[in-house]
Structure 1
Amino acid sequence: MSLLSSSLYFILGFIIAFLFPRLPGILVTRGKGFNLNFPPHPEPIPLSPHLTQRVLHMRMFYWLGLIVSFIPLLFGFLSVKWGNVPFGFGLWLSSGWFILSRLQIFLGGPEPPWTLEMAQRLQIISDKVKSDSKCCESISPEWLLSGIYCSVCKKKLDDMPRPDLGRKRSDGFFMGVIRLIASDGNPMFISDKKNFDVDSSESE
């Protein structure tokens, strides 16, 4: 086998294993039936039980990718041992990299784009809307890229940035896929957790 063909087999295996664990989050969440309760991209998303559920769904797909990644890892091992070595090594290397990137959270790495705490935080903000401490009489909280704002008085209710929520992008399906792959679903802004911790302690 020539160097060129070996390199092509390696790249092919690497790409397949790179995309395979991300397919559940890419294919399912971008479907029309999965976004009936949300405004089209790039409009802000109103806070609702559907939004909280979407965060939990995205969290599930995120960790489902970890389980799915063991499939190309296994095929890569089998291919290295009994089949095409460059192709199998590409599968094995890419899958191993993906698994390590997912497990780094347990070693002090960055948090996933979607967490249980994020869903709880959305629920806390929704509960505050119904309390006496609401910002205005006709409060209508919406989740923008940089945080949660009231669409009526424009007050910023929370600094939590919005991650990718699986909506089909206005510039097309493939741009949404590219963005998800490039950012791994992370928001474009950095969350200010300190402010949230202070607000939570004051509310208690």
Structure 2
Amino acid sequence: MKRLTTLVVLLIFVLSACTNNPKSNTISAVELTERERAIISTTSDKSFVFDFNIDSDYKEVSVWVEKYESGKLVNDAISSLITDVEGKGSIIFTTSKPDEDGKQQTFNIGISGKSGMGSVSNFEDNLDDMASVWDNLQGKNNPIEGELVLAYFGYSSDGRMSSLSIDFFEDPEGHMNELDKYDVAYLLKAKFTKTKGP
């Protein structure tokens, strides 16, 4: 499974659309082509791809998934990956289709760039019996300062679902109460780290 995940991450990186004239120290949502979506859908249920462009001050990126229940943080790193980065690269996040028993799904994180590629996979209970909603950071050239929310999944057993506001992505800390409406929520987060001074 890990080899297959790594292969899919590599294919998306090679095929992903390039951001036109990306600004330094930004991250952009990537619109996949129909072919790219077809390739990734062979092994994944949902996928999000982001391209970043950083200057030489930044040397590392951390990407992780947090789990919330009724708005309360219950696990701050279900799946996490830290890797060295340089210049341009991509962050790929996918969820697998549920396993044969229908009890587990996999969260896959991949980071690729000039420094190479890294990936990690973790299992989580399948919540297919709940209504769900998901979305990701939109647009091009979003600044990379601080902790970023790149995507989320929200699950509710009562079937009444609404999406998080656009403000949530711009100011997550100020809008954490929006997670209260979900029985279970997952946030995909990222943080770019600068070189430490002398």
TM-score by length of 2: 0.26
Q: More helix by proportion, 1 or 2?
A: 1
- Which has the greater radius of gyration? 1
Q: More strand by proportion, 1 or 2?
A: 2
